Amino acid sequence: MRARTIAAGLAVAALTLPLAGCGGDSAGDAKTIKIVYRNYSDFPQMDTFMKAVKKEFEAANPGVTAQLTPVSSLDSDYLAKVQLMQRSPSTAPDVLFEDSFNVNADAAAGYLLPIDDYLAKWSDWNSQFIPTTKQAGKATDGKTYAVPMGTDSRGLWFNKDIFAKAGLPTDWQPKTWNDVLDAARRIKQTQPGVEPMYMPLGKPAAEAMSMQSLEMLLYGTDTKNLYDEKAGKWVAPSKGFQDALGFVDTVMKENLAQTPAQAEDTQWAQTQMPLLMSQGKLGFMMDGGWYARYWEDGGVAPFPNWSKTLGTTTFPTQHGQAPGKVTLSGGWTLAVGASTGNADASVKFIETAMNKENSASIDVACSWLPVREDVKADPRLAQKDPTEPFWSSLVSFTRYRPTLSEYPQVSNAMDVAGDSVVNGGDPAQAAQKWAQDVAKAVGSDKVTAG
């Protein structure tokens, strides 16, 4: 999700959001707490999960109703709709499903309630939650505004049958960007009916393009960073970012991935791309470990024996320089709205949602990596997704997006630059424009060249 999607989504959101006062509930009604989350055809697991949590919560808290308010939208539009809700106490959620990348921005805007005092009394928070995962809900003011639901990592999925036909190793372990590109070229040469590769690209991909494509590439260059923590500055202009755009430029010019039209199609990446993989028409994809849920029975693109057909491997650094591989982690959280009329009940709902059993349930359903120590060993994770141990192993060297309120603006500028290159723009010019946009967004005194 991205800040730049907000303006585009306002008109649509205004037509699709419930009117203030509909249902007779509001954020100020202490007997009813409103739970807002994303529910769409590509993500039905959340609705099932929330209905189960509601039942458990209401049984344990007589007199308090959890009003489920699912938002039917693509991931890229969800933020816009929720931010419209947050602008008025009458429509603001008590509990909201929040992408970790936006916690800082929403906290800075006054939309979220700090919950440290509540969490200090929750024994599970202190004894079971993995310390590094807690950072997902913490803002730069040092306060915690959200509880992580699961985390993730990113790398490469590849079809071993397609690789064998292309004469490529079925235990593929690319060492450089060129190895990745050469594999795509080989698939294109040997199997014209197969899309060589996929990576999140185009305006509809929103933050998936900036994080899962451009930052994955950037962190594997000699520039290494999007934000220099020691200097306290954003690294722009950046040779690494220009090189990342150059990789995208090569992919597009050589027709190694989706076409510009597919990249700009709001539905293609959510439905058609997973289907291509399930049909044996996609060589490999650069994305996250959660895709198992797409291929299971009842998923968007059921794929029998996917775990035997598909391999997983790490994404390499640009020239094989140390540490040799790159991954990024993010994840979704549950936060409490600042306008809540019942903070106690709102936090209790989150505690119910993230107790041991429910935490394991949502991690299994969504193919997320666990955030609780007592869920890590749950056998259901690997039983459902045999690749889970691989994706979990990447967390040991993972990187996270900068936890700064300016990040959504920087991410937005990355998307603009990436989209320009996807549609034929020059990487050097796009990188220069990106640096100018970043300086304008964060202040020229908060940038440094890299």
User: Residue 79 above 90 pLDDT?
Assistant: no
Q: How far apart are CA 413 and CA 298, in angstroms?
A: 37
DSSP assignment of 253-305: HTT-S--HHHHT-TTIIIIIHHHHHHTT-EEEEEEEGGGHHHHSTTSSS--TT
Q: Is residue 392 part of a domain?
A: no
Q: Which amino acid, one-letter code, is at 92?
A: A
Question: Which of 367, 389, 414 is where one domain is finished?
Answer: 367
Residues 131-153 as b or e (16 or more Cβ within 10 Å = b): eebbebbbbeeeebbbbbbbbbb
Predicted pLDDT of residue 379 = 92
User: Residue 100 above 70 pLDDT?
Assistant: yes
DSSP assignment of 416-442: HHHHHHHTT--HHHHHHHHHHHHHHHH
Q: Residue 277: which domain range? A: 155-328+405-448
Predicted pLDDT of residue 77 = 81
**Which residue in 169, 189, 85, 148 sits closest to 371, CA to CA?**
148
Same domain, 350 and 285: no
Mean pLDDT of the region 78-105: 91
CA 253 to chain centre: 27
Same domain, 129 and 271: no
Predicted pLDDT of residue 403 = 79
Q: Output 297 or 43, whichever has higher pLDDT.
A: 297
CB 128 within 8 A of CB 372: yes
Confidence of residue 12 (pLDDT cuts 50, 70, 90): very low
DSSP assignment of 204-258: GGTHIIIIIIIIHHHTTSSS--SEETTTTEEE-S-HHHHHHHHHHHHHHHTT-S-
Q: How far apart are CA 352 and CA 164, in angstroms?
A: 47
- Cis check for the bond before 237: say yes or no (omega within 30 of 0): yes
Same domain, 199 and 117: no
CB 118 within 8 A of CB 95: no
Q: Output 234 or 40, whichever has higher pLDDT.
A: 234
pTM of the model: 0.84
Percent of the chain with pLDDT strictly greater than 90: 77
Predicted pLDDT of residue 6 = 32
Same domain, 198 and 65: no
Same domain, 88 and 139: yes
Q: How far apart are CA 67 and CA 87, in angstroms?
A: 19
Same domain, 109 and 174: no
Predicted pLDDT of residue 40 = 76
Least confident of 38-52, 55-69, 421-435: 38-52
Q: Is residue 383 part of a domain?
A: no
Same domain, 222 and 353: no
Predicted pLDDT of residue 418 = 98
Same domain, 173 and 47: no
User: Residue 52 above 80 pLDDT?
Assistant: yes
Q: How far apart are CA 345 and CA 359, in angstroms?
A: 19
Mean pLDDT of the region 273-297: 94
CB atoms within 10 A of CB 19: 8
User: Residue 18 above 50 pLDDT?
Assistant: no
What the block records as the tokens of 361 is 């349930």
Confidence of residue 26 (pLDDT cuts 50, 70, 90): very low
Q: Which amino acid, one-letter code, is at 164?
A: A
Confidence of residue 29 (pLDDT cuts 50, 70, 90): low
Confidence of residue 189 (pLDDT cuts 50, 70, 90): very high
Question: Which of 343, 367, 391 is where one domain is finished?
Answer: 367
Question: Which of 344, 367, 390 is where one domain is finished?
Answer: 367
Predicted pLDDT of residue 23 = 33
Q: Is residue 373 part of a domain?
A: no
Kindly report, residue by residue over 407-427, the tens digit of the pLDDT: 999 999 999 999 999 999 999
Q: How far apart are CA 265 and CA 281, in angstroms?
A: 19
User: Residue 301 above 90 pLDDT?
Assistant: yes
CB 42 within 8 A of CB 270: yes
Same domain, 322 and 346: no
Confidence of residue 76 (pLDDT cuts 50, 70, 90): low
How many domains is the chain partitioned into structurally?
2
Predicted pLDDT of residue 396 = 84
Q: Is residue 53 part of a domain?
A: yes
Confidence of residue 132 (pLDDT cuts 50, 70, 90): confident
CB 23 within 8 A of CB 32: no
Q: Is residue 140 part of a domain?
A: yes
Confidence of residue 266 (pLDDT cuts 50, 70, 90): confident
User: Residue 233 above 90 pLDDT?
Assistant: yes
Three-class SS of residue 125?
helix
The phi and psi torsions of 148 (rounded to 5 degrees) equal: -65, 145
Mean pLDDT of the region 193-208: 94
**β partners of residue 112:** 337
Q: Is residue 283 part of a domain?
A: yes
CB 104 within 8 A of CB 405: yes
What the block records as the tokens of 56 is 């458990």
Residue corresponding to tokens 């994404």? 315
Mean pLDDT of the region 171-198: 98
If you average pLDDT over every residue of the chain, what do you get?
A: 91
Q: Is residue 372 part of a domain?
A: no
| Close Cβ partners of 433 (under 8 Å, ≥ 6 residues apart) | 416, 417, 420
Same domain, 107 and 255: no
Confidence of residue 22 (pLDDT cuts 50, 70, 90): very low
Which secondary-structure segment (H or E) carries 104?
Answer: helix 103-108
Residue corresponding to tokens 């509930």? 25
Q: Output 126 or 73, whichever has higher pLDDT.
A: 126
Percent of the chain with pLDDT strictly greater than 70: 93
Kindly report, residue by residue over 359-406, the tens digit of the pLDDT: 999 999 999 999 999 999 899 998 889 999 999 999 888 998 887 889
Query: Which CATH number goes with the domain that contains 352?
Result: 3.40.190.10
- What 3 state SS string does 333-387 have? EEEEECCCCCHHHHHHHHHHHCCHHHHHHHHHHHCCECCEHHHHCCHHHHHHCCC
User: Residue 14 above 50 pLDDT?
Assistant: no
Same domain, 413 and 310: yes
Q: Is residue 31 part of a domain?
A: yes
User: Residue 2 above 60 pLDDT?
Assistant: no
Same domain, 277 and 414: yes
